[in-house]
Amino acid sequence: MYTIREATVNDAETIRALANEIWWPTYSSILADDQINFMLNDRYSTGVLAKQIQDKEQTYLLLIAEEQTVAFAAYSPDDKDPHIYKLHKLYMLPSTQGKGYGKILLNAVYEKVLAAGKNILELNVHRRNPAKTFYEKMGFTIAYEIDIPFGPYFLNDYVMRKEL
């Protein structure tokens, strides 16, 4: 049994702790440790997360199973194209992968995007991230490749899209 709810500012620390627990096993074979640390500090500090939630820069959804938050997603309207919504984050604890939580959270995001009157969802995924296969199974296709400067690093991503 699970529930999904929108995160509040009070959930920022929970999201930060989850990200720290999820990112190391997810990215340690793809990125150097210093880049993982840099990105966690830049994107997942409690203060950054609280500001994103408070200022409605991104909407966070939490998936709670057996009274524990085990996954989260974040999305927002695209700042360049008003017809597109952007999925910024979709992560679950490694111990819960394969239970369908990613699909459940993604479907919840689809519902929110459609309710906002939009029908295109876009995301970035590192070109070596195995999650690319999951997104393809969920109907996303590669729109293009992009290398994004990020501090002293580059994000080597596919931009994937799905029409809902």
Residues 100-110 pLDDT 10s: 999 999 999 99
pLDDT at 37: 97
pLDDT at 154: 95
Compute CA distances 57 → 6, 10, 34, 82, 88, whole Å: 13, 16, 27, 14, 11
Q: Is the pLDDT of residue 8 over 90?
A: yes
Instruction: Give the pLDDT mean for 31-42.
Output: 96
Domain range for 33: 2-163
Supply the pTM of this predicted model. 0.96
H helix and E strand count, the chain: 5, 7
CA distance 126 to 10: 30
We report the CATH number of the domain holding residue 128 as: 3.40.630.30
Count of domains forming the chain: 1
pLDDT at 82: 87
